[in-house]
Amino acid sequence: GAGRGPTALAAASIDAPPAGYDTQRKVLEVVRYPHPALRRKNAEVEAFDEKLHMLAVNLFDTLKAEGVGIGLAAPQVGVNLRIMAYFEMRGEKAVGKLLVNPWITKKSPEVYSATEECLSFPGIKGPVDRSEWIEVEAQTVDGKKRTMRLEGDEARLFQHEYDHLDGVVFIDHLQKEYLEGQLLKL
């Protein structure tokens, strides 16, 4: 197909964000571990413009296309910005949430363990301890500030995606013995 020859491949860098990620609507490729984008610190978003809106749409389109995930952080599609998208269940309905420049301002001292998995680590699952509740500040796609208290599954999901924004992946939380058995699957 178009753009697939050796020249196109040579021009594409593993370190560059995907072409058109914020200018055209498309499903983006989820990068797999050990892609370098997963370990980078991520820049805060400064421009709340149509490019940010397009990236937001593309994150949700990608999440829906993957079919198995409920959350996605921008670094997982090779874009090193502090943005996360996820679906929160409200009864039977999944409601999309896009959070820009999120920060955890307070965490519960109580933690609980539950099995997590990640689109960037297909086939890998493991128990991760997370805070039971968190208080967060974030901006909307339009730059409006929001403060939220998240609990239970949504708090867990937020913390998982938030880690991606700091270059932390869920396997970093797994016990060494457990992790060694899982890594054979990579």
Residues annotated as catalytic (active site), given as ranges: 161
- If you search the block for the tokens 């937020």, which residue do you land on? 158
Residues facing residue 97 across a β-bridge: 86
Helices (H), 67-175: 152-165
Among residues 73, 76, 71, 74, which one has the least CA distance to residue 86? 71
Report the distance separating Cα 103 and Cα 106, nearest Å.
9
Measured CA to CA in angstroms, residue 101 lies from 8, 82, 183 at distances of 33, 5, 31
Q: Can you tell me the distance from the alpha carbon of 100 to that of 51, in angstroms, rounded to the nearest whole number?
A: 13
Sorted by sequence, the CB contacts under 8 Å of residue 31 that are 6+ apart come out as 37, 38, 75, 76, 77, 78, 120
